[in-house]
Amino acid sequence: MILRIITPPLSANAYVLRSEKIAVIDPGGDADFILNALKNQGIKNVNAVLLTHLHYDHAVAANAIAETFGAPLLVHRDEYEFSRKFWYNGLYASVSNPQFVVDGEVIKIGDYKLKVMHTPGHTPGSVCFYEARKGLLFSGDTVFPNGSIGRTDLPGGTYAQLHNSLKKLSGLTVKRLYPGHGAPVENGNWHIRMALSFF
């Protein structure tokens, strides 16, 4: 079961993947809010915190969840290293003791096998998480429904890289797209193709 929790302050989506193990993808920008939301859902344990990128609206709550539940915090090394240079202006969240994920790695959490797709462009270490068997893509701020793409005008953003990343994603079979903002949609491939058509 996948639960979507819309988090303050910028309505970033936190996704809770519930099976015998529990993963939270992008806990959002407010620790108290997400901890309460998890409690209200009867969630007493979190086995892993996965981060599509470290922008504050997606990742400020990551440390609190990792500490509360003793869960590992997973992020791409490029993202972490870049964030160390830019955390001071508040754009990037500061995370403690992350574990680094690499492109192509598969993270198994209960019923979900999430393949890490390194998709730089919005940020240097943005990743998407792809569940091949179920056809699910958690796309962070890389791609949104109806052809929208992530901003590339912030520090670390690169338009050409985002283009390449979308080409990479367009090779996947995506039945359902779970973006970092806005509602999830069916037929993810169509939405990704739309985004590519604007380049």
57 in contact with Zn ion (CB under 5 A): yes
> What CA–CA distance (Å, rounded) separates 116 from 194?
22
Indicate the helix (H) or strand (E) that contains 56.
helix 56-59
Stretch that binds Zn ion, among 30-38, 50-58, 90-98, 105-113 (CB under 5 A): 50-58
Q: How near is the Cβ of 53 to Zn ion at its closest, in Å?
A: 6
Q: How near is the Cβ of 54 to Zn ion at its closest, in Å?
A: 9
32's CB contacts (< 8 A; 6+ apart) are 64
147's CB contacts (< 8 A; 6+ apart) are 191, 194, 195, 197, 198
Compare residues 63 and 139 and give the one whose CB is closer to Zn ion: 139
Compare residues 69 and 78 and give the one whose CB is closer to Zn ion: 78
Compare residues 12 and 61 and give the one whose CB is closer to Zn ion: 12
Report the greatest alpha carbon distance in the chain: 44
Binding residues for Zn ion, rule CB under 5 A, total 4
- Residues 2-41 within binding reach of Zn ion (CB under 5 A): 12
Could you give the string, one character per residue 120-159, with x where binding to Zn ion holds by CB under 5 A and - elsewhere? ---------------------x------------------
- Which strands, in side-by-side order, build the sheet including 106-109? 106-109, 112-118, 127-131, 136-140, 176-179, 185-186
Q: How near is the Cβ of 156 to Zn ion at its closest, in Å?
A: 10
User: Which residues here bind Zn ion, judged by CB under 5 A?
Assistant: 12, 55, 57, 141
